[in-house]
């Protein structure tokens, strides 16, 4: 139950449209629902502004389905990450109103999409092989109610490709830039030297042997000489999208408060 739904419930009790007993029944699952194998955090939307996100990787299909059924019953939106096609088909069989973002490996339930906030999150990938991680970030930010612009395959091996998109990256509407790169992870440093917005760097596990599954890119990003670059874990597109959403929403709130 999010803040809006809770307010509606309280207003319903105040206006006698909802009885006290009915309200108690609807609040009975707060603050969490115990499924034995999982305890669903029903207060997550109230605290964070977005419901609990389901990490499918490592879970049984039946557990994912049960969790998604409970979360979707609250009205959505619901996001599940690292979902294989098999997991999606199992969830879709139980809850038809789902879509599968194949590149992002994400399951999305959006009966009523969140309104898009002002400001834009730009998601940049160094190479085509980095797109799955970039899409995880982009889909996360989109579902959380943000405008997202994608700029893919603009790595430092052909810097003119990035510079050809500089107007989009430095536009006044841009609140935060997410930069995804594997190999040596140089692209976030370059972008960080060109923009005034926060840059969230995401190292990927793409690269040859000495990249050590993304460790080389991670260390390169952590040692960036450009100011304002922060780094999430290897292949953590979700974490970058979530953080970028918070930054964008905060910017919108501060702008509204200043008017």
For the stretch 130-172, pLDDT in tens is 999 999 999 999 999 999 999 999 999 999 999 999 999 999 9
At residue 27, the pLDDT reads 64
Residue 122 burial (CB < 10 Å; 0-12/13-18/19+)?
A: buried
Q: What is the DSSP letter of 209?
A: G
Name which of 219, 140, 139 is nearest 186 in CA terms: 219
- What phi, psi does 41 have (nearest 5°)? -85, 95
| Entry pTM | 0.85
pLDDT band at 121 (very low <50, low <70, confident <90, very high): very high
Question: Does residue 123 contact residue 188 with C-beta atoms inside 8 Å?
Answer: no
178/198 Cα distance (integer angstroms): 9
At residue 2, the pLDDT reads 55
What the chain holds in terms of domains, given with CATH numbers, is 12-109 (no CATH), 120-258 (3.40.50.1970)
pLDDT band at 34 (very low <50, low <70, confident <90, very high): low
Query: Distances in Å between the alpha carbon of 41 and those of 29, 68, 98, 225, 245?
Result: 9, 12, 21, 39, 20
The sign of the CA dihedral 152, 157, 160, 166 is: positive
């Amino acid at each position: 139950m999010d803040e809006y739904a809770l307010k509606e419930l309280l207003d319903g009790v105040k206006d006698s449209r909802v009885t006290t007993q009915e309200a108690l029944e609807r609040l009975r699952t707060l603050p969490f629902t115990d499924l034995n194998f999982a305890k669903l955090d029903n207060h997550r939307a109230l605290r964070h502004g977005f419901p609990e996100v389901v990490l499918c990787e490592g879970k049984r299909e039946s557990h994912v389905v049960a969790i998604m059924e409970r979360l979707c019953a609250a009205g959505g939106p619901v996001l599940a990450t690292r979902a294989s096609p098999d997991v999606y088909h199992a969830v879709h069989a139980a809850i038809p109103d789902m879509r599968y973002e194949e590149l992002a490996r994400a399951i999305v339930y959006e009966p009523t999409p969140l309104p898009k906030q002002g400001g834009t999150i730009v998601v940049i990938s160094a190479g085509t092989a980095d797109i799955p991680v970039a899409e995880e970030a982009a889909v996360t930010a989109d579902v959380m109610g943000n405008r997202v612009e994608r700029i893919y395959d603009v790595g430092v091996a052909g810097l003119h490709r990035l510079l050809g998109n500089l107007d989009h990256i430095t536009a006044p509407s841009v609140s935060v830039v997410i930069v995804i790169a594997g190999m040596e992870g140089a692209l976030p440093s370059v972008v960080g030297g060109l923009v005034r917005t926060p840059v969230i760097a995401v190292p990927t596990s793409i690269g040859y042997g000495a990249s050590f599954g993304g460790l080389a890119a991670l260390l390169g990003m952590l040692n960036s000489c450009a100011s304002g670059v922060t780094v999430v874990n290897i292949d953590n597109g979700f974490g970058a999208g979530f953080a970028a959403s918070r930054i964008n929403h905060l910017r919108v709130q501060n702008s509204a408060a200043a008017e």
